[in-house]
Amino acid sequence: MQNQVSLERPVKPFGMNPYKFTLWLFIISIVMFFAALTSAYLVKQASGNWQVINMPTIFWYSSLAVVLSSACMQLAYFWGKKGELANARMAIVLTFALGIVFIWLQWQGWGKLVMQEVFLNGNPAGSFIYVITGTHGLHIISGMVFLLIVMIKTFNKNVKIEKLQALSLCKTYWHFLGVLWLYLFFFLLLSR
């Protein structure tokens, strides 16, 4: 028998863009972190000594801000794919501005919690609310840094936004943060 040499093309071991893969690993780690945090919340709540806390109404407004910012980010991506750079820039700037509004509303919500005498170092219920909303707020800030980088890239006159991979990655991360906030908010609202 003769040894036959295979002339087949080697199979690519992985076809996903490495930046997209890294982003998805990061998102999965965030999901795992918040799943652990919300599970700990439920376990601690079941053990007793739990203060019932009324979620400040301002958190509804921050939820609206995150939904609107997600819509703006989707518009930025849509216009970017069509090559409408000016519209994409405007939508990215609006997304960033709504991110600032979200953070400001969260800060105001913390102020309302303090007015209810809910403190970080008090009852575990309050501690969990501050840790959950604060950690999510830090992730929003990281998303805003990402947005800022994309914004700077879109203001570079030599860039073709339809080829701007960062816009697509930013869109994915920003939508994830919006969905994550809605989950966390309704979790805190319904399991108090």
Domains and CATH numbers, the chain: 54-190 (1.20.120.80)
pLDDT at residue number 136: 98
Q: What single letter denotes the amino acid at residue 174?
A: W
The model carries a pTM of 0.89
pLDDT at 3 over 80: no
Residue 8 binned pLDDT confidence (cut-offs 50, 70, 90)? low
